[in-house]
Amino acid sequence: MNTRYLEILKERRSIYNLGKNVSLTDTELTTLIEGAVRETPTSFNAQTIRTVILFGDKHDQLWDIVANRLKSEVPSEQIYENTKKKIASFKAAYGTVLYFTDRSVVADYEKQVPLYAANLAPWAEQGLGGAQQNVWTVLADNQVGANLQHYNPIIDGEVRIAFDIPETWVLRGQMPFGSIEKPAAEKTYIDDQKRFRVLK
Ligand SMILES: Cc1cc2nc3c(=O)[nH]c(=O)nc-3n(C[C@H](O)[C@H](O)[C@H](O)COP(=O)(O)O)c2cc1C
């Protein structure tokens, strides 16, 4: 039995203390991220996932958008101070992957395959989840940490303008990545009996 991939899966964690001390080049990081998305399966091979990788000023710009946008959303100055710290921790990362679903492709398949029309949007999201986890894992396998955030939909309009995002791409997640400045705390697991059944 080969458990190598299981060991790599265990390496992937939500890393919240991210930094800029990454030894891989931007080209190498792009190769890993794009490769992971390209190899992720999608229903009917519809390839509905779109990504934008932000480095440098573009990465900073995203997290400035989030911080400014949240100012009008949080109820008090005190809470906003905590929010600002959290956003600063994402900005301290090296880069961010933005994940989108191209709804125009989903709509095409809904027309082409009416029998499964109701399933196509959920399947697109499942494919996206697979892509996010493949990127997260391939980065972890290269000692690059990441976490997954969801400031959509409140940032969608500003992100669309800032990064020239096509109208049909719907923002679904933001993944800051960078050097692992502090490892994740130990993870707890529910009892295996609660979630697994093996029948023979
Ligand atoms: C679909 C999905 C959505 C998530 N959304 C968020 C999020 O919005 N913010 C966040 O900090 N973590 C988010 N997480 C991270 C989970 O909280 C985390 O994966 C989980 O607690 C297990 O920890 P681990 O990633 O270290 O294994 C998300 C994870 C998944 C799979």
Atom in ligand 1 nearest the alpha carbon of residue 16: 11
pLDDT in tens, 137-156: 999 999 999 999 999 999 99
Which pLDDT value is given to residue 74? Answer: 87
Q: How far is the CA of 112 from the centre of ligand 1 (A)?
A: 34
- Closest C-alpha to ligand 1, atom 12: 148
Residue 185 lies in a domain: yes
Reply yes or no on whether the pLDDT at 3 is more than 90. yes
CATH code (residue 21): 3.40.109.10
Question: What pLDDT was estimated at residue 118?
Answer: 98
Listed residue (128, 146, 129) closest to 137, CA to CA: 146
For the chain, what is the domain count?
1
Atom from ligand 1 closest to the CA of residue 129: 1
CA of 148 to the centre of ligand 1 (A): 6
Please give the residue that has the higher pLDDT: either 78 or 38: 38
Q: Give the Å distance between the CA of 150 and the centre of ligand 1.
A: 10
Q: Quick check: is 74 in a domain?
A: yes
Q: What is the pLDDT of residues 187-198, one digit of tens each?
A: 999 999 999 999
> How far away, in angstroms, is 13 Cα from ligand 1 center?
9
Residue 181, classed as helix, strand or coil, is strand
Q: Does residue 141 form part of some domain?
A: yes
The answer to which of 28-42, 52-66, 70-84, 161-175 has the lowest mean pLDDT is 70-84
Cis peptide leading into 153, omega within 30 of 0? yes
Residue 53: beta bridge partners?
97
What end-to-end distance do the CA atoms of the chain give, in Å?
A: 20
Assigned domain for 178 exists: yes
Taking the C-alpha atoms of residue 179 and residue 165, their distance in angstroms, rounded to an integer, is 28
- Give 175-184 pLDDT, tens digit per residue: 999 999 999 9
Nearest residue (by CA) to ligand 1, atom 29, is: 148
Q: Which of 11, 12, 14, 182 to mutate to test the pocket of ligand 1 (most atoms within 8 A of CB)?
A: 14
- Looking at residue 75, its pLDDT comes to 84
Structure tokens at 15: 């890393």
Determine the number of helices (DSSP H) and then strands (DSSP E) in the chain.
8, 5
Domain span at residue 82? 4-195
DSSP readout, 99-123? EEEEHHHHHHHHHH-GGGHHHHHHH
Per-residue confidence at 89, pLDDT binned at 50, 70, 90?
very high
- 200 lies in a domain? no
